[in-house]
Structure 1
Amino acid sequence: MSKNKEILEEEKNHLANATRVKYFDIVIDHGKGAIITDADGREYIDLLASASATNTGHSHPKVVDAITSQAQKLIQYTPAYFANTVTAKLADRLVDIAPGNFQKQVAFGNSGSDANDAIIKFARGYTGRQYVVSFTGAYHGSTYGSLSISGVSLNMTRKIGPLLPNTVKVPFPDQTQRIAGESDDDFSERLFKQFKLPFETYLPADEVALVIIEPIQGDGGIIKAPQRYVELVYEFTREHGIVFAVDEVNQGLGRTGKMWSIDHFGIVPDLMSVGKSIASGLPLSAVIGRKEIMDSLQAPANVYTTAGNPVTAAAALATLDVIEEENLVARSRQLGELAKAFFESAAKRYAFIGDVRLYGLNGGIDIINDHGEPDNEATNKLIYRIFELGAIMISLRGNTLRFQPPLVIQEEELQRAFEILEKAFSDLASGKIALPKTDNHIGW
């Protein structure tokens, strides 16, 4: 028995099913840059970047050095009661790089989930209102507040209600749902009417605290909202005194070819959540927002023992250095153009490739059947074949390939990944791929 299978057989006796979305029988042992190695010593090109949590790649030397150095000085003393030098420096740094020419403050957490919980808290505290509006297809996290405003999987609500009250979901402007010949502006106007419908029928705007959106949805399929739509929603929040917040946990820190996904729209949010890659995958998150909003609550309304831990803060400072020094935002944009050209070319040659969406090194590629409908089985066959050939890619929404390699991936590694993808596409077209017998289903 391989080491992978041996470890998995032992683990499944103890690991709760609710804690992992299962894909392949692999146990990751170590990684470097854009390459990961499993317990059997086999290498893979990482096209997932730990769910966009390792934008700077695996075990970046500068991040490793920062973690090691800080651990030798101070691993933990809770920032809930006392400041420490490194976390104080990080707060200043985050305020500087967040959008907006106004006074801002930071609240630290441990994950994107609690950062989005905090956004709900601060918005309600500032406005004195209760209602929260989010979007279908959103993934904001798994704590009760963030889960309540998510809308990407029924298993996030099944059997665990009641959820947070006074949350309302409106349709996300998924551009793959446009009517034939419909312009972006016409589509935006049509979806904005759907956005306004609750406000016109049962939801008083003057009782709404928050509208929160992923400008480019991550787990919803890597889908960018139209410019005009985001402008209309933003203007609506300005008119009605509603806090406008963006979730940058998945799509921030250079992932989309800009530092923040909201930068594509020229709009400045009131609050912003950051997580995942902020500390190169260590447990750290932050809410960054207008000082007057952040001032609306007093401790211990958003206090966590380990939030802003010195080691994670040191990793975050090093991560931000790497993003700046290695020009990873521009690199994401440039290599993203190569990826876009590859996938668009493949779409012309393979009828099962539907919509192709690339924003930096960040893509959603829909797999469809002969009738243009989502083809989950074909998607599973593709990602499994890609795994067999030596790369890691997973799916979203059942039929969307998720393309999110580390931003440090070398061009030669990216070209090898394209060769693997091309081979998998060819094998699917030839009917050569069969799914393995496994006790694990594949995907969400």
Structure 2
Amino acid sequence: MTSIKLKTSLPGPKGLAALERRKNLLPAGLARSTDVVVERAEGALVWDVDGNQLLDFAGGIGMINVGHSNEKVVAAIKKQLDKYIHTCTLVTTIEPYLDLAELLNSVTPGDFPKKTLLACSGSEAVENAINVAKYYTKRNAVLCFEGAYHGRTLLTLSLTSKYALFKKGFGSFVPDIYRIPAPNMYRGIDGMTEEQYINYCIKKLDESFISQVDPDSLAAIIIEPVMGEGGFLSMPAAYLHKLRQVCDKHGIVFIADEIQCGAGRTGKMFACEHSGVIPDIVVTAKSIGAGMPISATTGRAEIMDAPHPGGVGGTYGGSPVACVAAIESIKILQLESFLKRVNEVGEIIRLTLEGWKEKYPLIGDVRGIGAMRLVEFVKDRNTKEPDADATLEIIRDAVAHGLIMIRAGLFSNCIRLLPPIVITDEQLAEGLQVLEDAIIRAQEKRKL
């Protein structure tokens, strides 16, 4: 039995009609990575409006780790809807907000008192983290990294890298933001060992505190322990420890953006746990809500308590419907059995991708951690020149054959694999075969 079952071409007649409506009703700037028009979704499967059954390897950009329409999450939402929808935490106290905050305070790294502020999006959570850090330190400067993605609000867009895709035309941006290169083990410096390259990156970090900003002026350093949009770049443990040391020495707030790499995706509840580095603030969103719009800023109590009463919050932050969904999602995400499955899925993908790298010159690198995996495509393995055209071609081919996918990487030349962890081995193998077939066709076209 195959999981992918196509009744029409993609998109089909109903899908084409919906896409035409989208074109006429929604802004052109709201792009999409596929032409799939969804009718329903469950587990790792998506059905479109024409009755086609597809496999999902994008997971809402890492939003559906526990699977589409998870039964426990759906049941919790329905139960809450029968009680009340929302009364606003700025007006009343909502117990699901307290329950979720208590849970997040307990599961995030660090054996110290913590507090949690809830919001609706990852951008809001990052912005809350930065604002709280500024208030606490009484400083304005923030250090971030090339390739990072932190959101689309004015402040978070200022932090985000990849100018042409995300920032072009939206300036001017927030001042006192400093950006330096992040370690990229695939695109390191020729002739250097990994250790030498990491030491070089640490040296350049120290130099940036002379050439760009005095560390005593920094309110926060924000980093994704594994970059998402930047191309699934795992930050070396030594580099994260260096950042932690700098923060400790100069009273800087260390913020870990775990929006995409957290929620169990890497085989641990939080990606920073792989290094042993404990942030002052952890930012979460995406899969903690299992599809519901919710995010969290969880940090040291003394930092989170810094703003004056009324200084933080929002109308919809901590919606009880979203909170109960997140509670059920996190209960699943932190289970040993779930994290074990993450590593099983990741190992299947890793072995498959490494086999592809041996066979297909179009693939420059395969990397990732846990079930957060990626393929990077290049025109030449020696020069490592990115091949964004081939990447887009492969995605379109794979989608046409029933596999939902999305790009990543600073050069848009990577395909990220973020299937729901509830995916079966059979579904995983089927999806990987669809992707491999698309790679083969792209390579044959280029006669590599």
Q: In which range does the TM-score fall when normalised by the shorter chain?
A: over 0.9
The residue aligned with 2:393 is: 381
Q: Output the CA distance in 1 between the equivalents of 2:269 and 2:402.
A: 30
Deviation of 1:432 after TM superposition, in Å, equals 9.2
Contact 1:245 1:269 in 2 (8 A): yes
Is it true that 1:279 corresponds to 2:289 in the alignment? yes
Q: Distance in 2 between matches of 1:278 and 1:19?
A: 24
How far the C-alpha of 1:372 sits from its partner, in A, is: 3.2
Q: Which residue of 1 aligns with 2:230?
A: 220
| Whole-angstrom distance in 1 between the partners of 2:161 and 2:125 | 17
How far apart are residue 217 of structure 1 and its match? 0.2
Which residue is equivalent to 1:425? Answer: 439
Question: Is 1:335 matched with 2:345?
Answer: yes
One-letter amino acid of the counterpart of residue 52, structure 2: R
Secondary structure of residue in 2 paired with 1:419: helix
Are 1:11 and 2:25 matched, yes or no?
Answer: no
1:415 aligns with 429
Between the aligned partners of 1:243 and 1:154, the Cα distance in structure 2 is 29
Q: Amino acid of the residue matched to residue 15 of structure 1?
A: L
**In structure 1, C-alpha distance between the alignment counterparts of 2:212 and 2:72, rounded to whole Å:** 53
Higher deviation after alignment, 369-378 or 277-286: 369-378
Alpha carbons 1:75, 1:311 under 8 Å: kept: yes
117-126 or 186-195, which moves further after superposition? 186-195
Task: Please give the secondary structure, in 2, of the residue aligned with 1:12.
Answer: helix
Q: Which amino acid in the other structure matches residue 94 of structure 1?
A: L
Partner residue of 1:390 out of 378, 402, 407: 402
1:111 is displaced (CA, Å) by 0.5
Secondary structure class of the residue paired with 1:106: strand
Cα shift at 1:302: 1.5
| 1:360 paired to 2:374 | no
Alignment match, 2:116 = 106
Q: Does the 8 Å contact 1:105/1:291 carry over to 2?
A: yes
CA distance in 1, matches of 2:311, 2:285: 20
TM-score normalised per structure 2: 0.93
> Are 1:185 and 1:228, in contact at CA under 8 Å, matched by a contact in 2?
no
Tell whether the 8 Å contact from 2:390 to 2:442 is kept in structure 1 after alignment. Answer: yes
CA–CA separation in structure 2 for the residues paired with 1:404 and 1:202? 36
Quick check: 1:62 aligned with 2:76?
no
Of residues 368-377 and 162-171 in structure 1, the stretch that sits farther from structure 2 once superposed is 368-377
Q: Secondary structure at 1:132's aligned position in 2?
A: strand
- Which residue pairs with 2:189 in the alignment? 179
What does 1:207-356 correspond to in 2, within 5 Å? 207-325=217-335, 327-356=337-366
Contact in 1 for aligned 2:40/2:46 (Cα 8 Å): yes
Using the TM superposition, give the Cα deviation of residue 303 of structure 1 relative to its aligned residue in structure 2, in angstroms: 1.1
RMSD between aligned residues: 1.5
Post-superposition offset of 1:249: 0.5
Q: C-alpha distance in 1, partners of 2:198/2:384? A: 23
Q: Report deviation, 1:334.
A: 1.6
Partner of 1:436: none
Query: Residue type matched to 1:257 in 2?
Result: G
Pair 1:144-2:149 in alignment: no
Single out whichever of 297-306 and 148-157 deviates more from structure 2.
Answer: 148-157
Q: Is the 8 A contact 2:149 2:230 kept in 1?
A: yes
Cα–Cα, structure 1 residues 432 and 134, in superposed 2: closer, same or farther, change >3 Å? closer
* TM-score normalised per structure 1: 0.94
Query: SS in structure 2 opposite 1:272?
Result: strand
- Name the aligned partner's letter for residue 4 of structure 1: G
The answer (yes or no) to whether the contact 1:107–1:288 under 8 Å persists in 2 is yes
Distance across 2 between alignment mates of 1:327 and 1:344: 26
Q: What's the counterpart of residue 168 of structure 2?
A: 158
1:352 CA displacement: 0.6
Question: Residues 306-347 of structure 1, C-alpha deviation per residue, up to 9 Å, x if partnerless?
Answer: 100000001011111222458222211121011000000011
User: Structure 1 residues 202, 7: CA separation in 2 closer, same or farther (over 3 Å shift)?
Assistant: closer
Q: Name whichever of 176-185 and 77-86 sits farther off.
A: 176-185
Residue identity matched to 2:433: E
| Residue of structure 2 in register with 1:441 after alignment | none
- Write the letter of the residue equivalent to 2:373: G
8 Å Cα contact 1:258/1:333 also seen in 2 = no
Cα contact 2:234–2:368 (8 A) shared by 1: no
* SS of residue in 1 equivalent to 2:297: strand
Cα distance change on mapping 1:201 and 1:423 into 2, 3 Å: closer
Q: SS of 2:201's equivalent?
A: helix
Match of 1:49 in 2: 59
Distance (Å, rounded) in 2 between the aligned partners of 1:234 and 1:94: 22
Letter in 2 for 1:372: K
Distance 2:283 2:348 in 1: 29
CA distance in 1, matches of 2:209, 2:375: 34
Letter in 1 for 2:364: G
* Cα shift at 1:150: 0.9
CA contact (8 A) 1:78 1:309 kept: yes
Aligned partners of 1:184 and 1:228 also within 8 Å: no
Q: 3-state DSSP class of the match of 1:145?
A: helix
Unaligned runs of 5+ in 1: 434-444
Question: 1:298 Cα deviation (Å)?
Answer: 2.1
Q: Which amino acid aligns with 1:399?
A: N
Query: Alignment length, in residue pairs?
Result: 432
Decide which moves more: 294-303 or 2-11: 294-303
SS in 1 for 2:299: strand
CA contact (8 A) 1:258 1:330 kept: no
Cα contact 2:34–2:404 (8 A) shared by 1? no
How many Å separate the matches in 2 of 1:402 and 1:160? 27
Q: Could you tell me the percent identity over the aligned residues?
A: 33
In structure 1, distance between residues paired with 2:275 and 2:43: 31
Q: Once the two structures are superposed, what CA deviation does each residue of 1:107-152 show, in whole Å capped at 9, x if it has no partner?
A: 1111100000011111111111110110010000111111111113
